[in-house]
Structure 1
Amino acid sequence: MITAGRIVRLAEFDRAEVHFYVDGHRCSALAGDTVLTAMLASGHVLRKSEFGAEPRAGFCLMGACQDCWVWQDEGPRLRACSTLLGEGMRLRTMPSESWL
């Protein structure tokens, strides 16, 4: 289990806890976090580059560069930096093979 995140929360601990899944692993974050914040604070990368095996963690953090795409278990992808995390979200760092 990954416990150290790529980003660390320094303040604002009084929000409700929200649970979500990344590649089948249960994680938690705080209500109001974006998907990007939640995934990186949980120790996950957002995805691997489509041009190599390098992990991606977002770039512009405002929805312009498209470096933060992640996939939902249901199939559609979303921009992690501009999507609020929802209770029970099931996210993937790679698209399902059935979508390729």
Structure 2
Amino acid sequence: MFAPIGSTEATITIYLDGRPIPARAGETIAACLLRAGVSHFRTTPASGAKRLPYCMIGHCFDCLIEIDGIGSRQACLSPVEDNMTLRIQNGAATIPGVETQ
């Protein structure tokens, strides 16, 4: 149904919670993690429900993930970069210097 444009060879590596994942230069984080079979990208703050990307165009915010130490980043809009570190986001993101109620 869908075919990648350009190289289908995974030439770089990203890390999700310390686990190396082969990635294709130019693809989004969301596409890479879905291809790798990742079960969820985040859990919701209210119920803890597991979430995966839904729209893949930046509207739904179900793809939020921590990228290189910064939470609530949209994986569907962010391209992979060699050696980037990702973490599953559990609940609301923490922002240094900001307290939540």
Using the size of structure 2 for normalisation, the TM-score is 0.72
Gaps of at least 5 residues in structure 1 are: 1-8
Larger Rg: 2
Question: Cα RMSD (Å) of the superposition?
Answer: 2.5
Comparing 71-80 with 57-66, greater Cα deviation is found at 71-80
Structure 1 residue ranges (4+ consecutive) displaced by more than 6 angstroms after TM superposition: none
Gaps of at least 5 residues in structure 2 are: 95-99
Q: How many residues align?
A: 90
Give per-residue Cα distances to partners, 1:66-86, cap 9 Å, x unaligned: 111111242344110111111
| 2:29 counterpart (35, 45, 69) | 35
Query: What is aligned with 2:84?
Result: 89
| 2:15 counterpart (8, 21, 34) | 21
Checking the alignment, whether the CA contact within 8 Å between 1:33 and 1:85 is kept in structure 2 is yes
**Matched residues, percent identical?**
26
Distance in 2 of aligned mates of 1:93 and 1:87: 18
Query: What is aligned with 2:48?
Result: 53
Does the residue aligned with 1:61 lie in a helix, a strand or coil? coil
